[in-house]
């Protein structure tokens, strides 16, 4: 007989179901509606992509692909970052989630955004503004976001 196991049982108490429901939030997994756009942003605390649909975060992931992405920066949110020197969610990729893409695109551009340097998403290397592309692939590598705009 395991003494530790019995010791734990002695200290357990019954919690009425009504109390439990008011104390614990049960998360039900939500599915992405592929017919509705999502907003995807890099979650600085969790180091993953947060996927928001209809105003609610429905998923966290390290890899996601979208079609018809728009690279969106909310100017007022950026102004707040510059004023307070504290980041907030004001930049994201908006598009339709897709299951997968072919491996070899005709053209690809790595995309980044830094509120202290740019007022929009830009192509890494050239600094040229980028607003949209036919497809985008977002992943997290070594806890850092990587965004690729893709053309097929």
User: Tens digits of per-residue pLDDT, 95-149?
Assistant: 999 999 988 999 999 999 999 999 999 999 999 999 999 999 999 999 999 999 9
- Give the pTM: 0.78
CA–CA dist 42, 92 (Å, integer): 8
Higher pLDDT, 23 or 17: 17
Contact 147, 112 (CB under 8 A): yes
DSSP code for 33: -
Position 103 scores a pLDDT of 87
């Amino acid at each position: 007989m395991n003494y530790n196991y019995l010791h734990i049982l002695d200290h357990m108490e019954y919690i009425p179901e009504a109390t439990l429901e008011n104390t614990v939030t049960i998360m039900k997994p939500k599915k992405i509606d592929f017919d509705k756009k999502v907003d995807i942003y890099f979650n600085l605390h969790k180091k993953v992509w947060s996927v928001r649909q209809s105003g609610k975060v429905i998923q966290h992931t390290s890899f996601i692909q979208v079609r018809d992405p728009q690279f969106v920066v909310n100017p007022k949110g950026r102004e707040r970052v510059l004023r307070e020197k504290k980041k907030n969610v004001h930049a994201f990729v908006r598009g339709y989630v897709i299951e997968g893409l072919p491996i070899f695109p005709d053209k690809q551009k790595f995309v980044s955004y830094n509120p202290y340097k740019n007022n929009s998403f830009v192509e890494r290397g050239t600094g040229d503004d980028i607003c949209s592309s036919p497809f985008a692939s977002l992943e997290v590598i070594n806890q850092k976001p990587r965004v690729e705009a893709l053309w097929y």
